[in-house]
Amino acid sequence: MRILIVNKFLFPNGGSESYIFGLGEELSRQGHEVQYFGMEHAGRIVGNRTESYTSEIDFHAPGPEKFAAPFRLLYSREARRKLRAVLDDFRPEAVHLNNINFQLTPSVIDEVRARDRRNGSRTRIIFTAHDSQWMCPGHLLRIPSTGERCRRCVDGSVWNCAAHRCIHDSRLRSILGSMEGWIYRHRKTYAQVDAVICPSAFMAEILSHHPMLGSKCVVMHNFVNLPERKKQEDPGGYVLYFGRYGEEKGLREMLGAVRLCREIPFVMAGRGELQPEVDAAVREAETLADGTRQLKDVGFQSGEALRQLVREARLVVFPSVCHENCPLSLMEAQAAGVPVIASALGGIPELMEDGRTGMLVPAGDPGKLADAIHTLWSDPGRCRTFGDRAAEMAAGRYRSVASYVENLLPYYRGEGSFVGENAG
């Protein structure tokens, strides 16, 4: 098959990009022809034959772009024009949408269907819901100014986003987000999508509230390539946090727990807007009995360096305060045989057996997080048992990318089932 993968970022940026790169590589390995469409960027690593991409938009850029860019999030004629060149050249049989809102906009859906009308064809459009954007304009189900987890737009009006400044705590951007949500619901744009891949049952439940999406949802947990497992005889030398240094990821709660566990060594690996707070915590950290610092920041890590960090940890902490979907980092830690302490939010409980493969804790509570860390850290045998069970669970339950593609292809072909479907 000819498959066009559409995502706003075509460079390594987060979980959705790891997903599209892994998916595209496996599709190509299985003999399918794959191209990509999204924004141009200096770090872009995939593309299309016509070299047609939208111009880069950075909503956080200083200067005039900071004020002009938000007005381009509602509908992008540029995205339609640039995509048209790719569609006419590549003639995909399936278009797989991922993160498209804001930088690309759902205008790309209109362009696929416009080409179908011109050619008398029917291109399959598949959408993977990496977040709740199509129900919650702020996509995090969270009010940033207060930290309240919220479903107001899911169960009611999208104008709640504007009322509570849910996008970067900005009134203007939140009004535009509400406008975007209202426009695409009113135009029934999302009804043109054939199937919605939900990486968690939690996400399927959220999207089921959309009158045009509920009957099209299928649950398929993300794929994970099983890494090398940690050595059984090695209890692990530290508690590891890896990921973005962001407020919604529970970074502040993580640092609060570090301060409550002064005798336990911690390693943090990541980057993000709260880097100054991480730097301050590192400076404040005490020296342990063996002469090392209690908190070490090793910066952003990837590939084998990150896998080694995970294998050498006694446990991994995933303290998110927003509703996570199906976090790859948590799955990868489990597959490596490392127990996880994580927030009992969103799709996370679907990936864990509390008290058997790890521990679930209330989100936003540094004290409860610290208690769980103390409990597991002080019992290396229990950590080993939890890690073994987590690895066995991952091997038996999580799909490899090859298996994932096998289950995805019927939806590309229009043969997939939706009623009661749960692809695991």
Q: Which domains does the chain have, with CATH numbers?
A: 2-223+400-413 (3.40.50.2000), 239-397 (3.40.50.2000)
Alpha-carbon gap, residue 129 to 138, rounded angstroms: 14
**Among 99, 342, 323, which residue's Cα sits nearest to residue 205?**
323
- Of these ranges, 69-73, 95-99, 224-228, 290-294, the one predicted with the greatest mean pLDDT is 95-99
Where on the phi/psi map is residue 164: left (φ > 0), alpha (ψ -120 to 50), or beta? alpha
Report the pLDDT value the prediction gives residue 196, as an integer from 0 to 100: 97
Q: What is the pLDDT of residues 180-222, one digit of tens each?
A: 999 999 999 999 999 999 999 999 999 999 988 989 999 999 9
Q: Mean pLDDT across the stretch 372-378?
A: 97
Q: What is the pLDDT of residues 327-363, one digit of tens each?
A: 999 999 999 999 999 999 999 999 999 999 999 999 9
Q: Mean pLDDT across the stretch 78-101?
A: 97
> Is the per-residue pLDDT at 277 higher than 90?
yes
**Among 11, 19, 6, 10, which residue's Cα sits nearest to residue 329?**
19
> Is the per-residue pLDDT at 420 higher than 80?
no
Distances (CA, A) of 292 to 49, 236, 289, 382: 52, 15, 7, 25
155 versus 1: which is more confidently predicted? 1
Report the pLDDT value the prediction gives residue 64, as an integer from 0 to 100: 47
Alpha-carbon gap, residue 377 to 185, rounded angstroms: 49
Q: What is the pLDDT of residues 223-274, one digit of tens each?
A: 998 878 877 677 889 999 999 999 999 999 999 999 999 999 999 999 999 9
Q: How confident is the model at residue 15 (pLDDT cuts 50, 70, 90)?
A: confident
Report the pLDDT value the prediction gives residue 424, as an integer from 0 to 100: 52
Alpha-carbon gap, residue 18 to 96, rounded angstroms: 15
Strands of the sheet containing 94-97, edge to edge, are 33-37, 2-6, 94-97, 124-128, 195-198, 217-219
> Is the per-residue pLDDT at 419 higher than 60?
no
> Is the per-residue pLDDT at 38 higher than 80?
yes
CA atoms within a 13 Å half-sphere pointing along the CA-CB vector of 221: 21
> Is the per-residue pLDDT at 66 higher than 70?
no
Please tell me the pTM assigned to this model.
Answer: 0.91
> Is the per-residue pLDDT at 60 higher than 70?
no
**Among 7, 76, 94, which residue's Cα sits nearest to residue 47?**
7
Q: How confident is the model at residue 70 (pLDDT cuts 50, 70, 90)?
A: low
**DSSP letter string over 268-334?**
EEEESTTHHHHHHHHHHPPBPTTS-BSEEE-----HHHHHHHHHT-SEEEE--SS-----HHHHHHH
**Among 419, 25, 1, 422, which residue's Cα sits nearest to residue 220?**
422
Q: How confident is the model at residue 131 (pLDDT cuts 50, 70, 90)?
A: very high
Contact yes or no for 137/174 (Cβ under 8 A): yes
Alpha-carbon gap, residue 382 to 375, rounded angstroms: 9
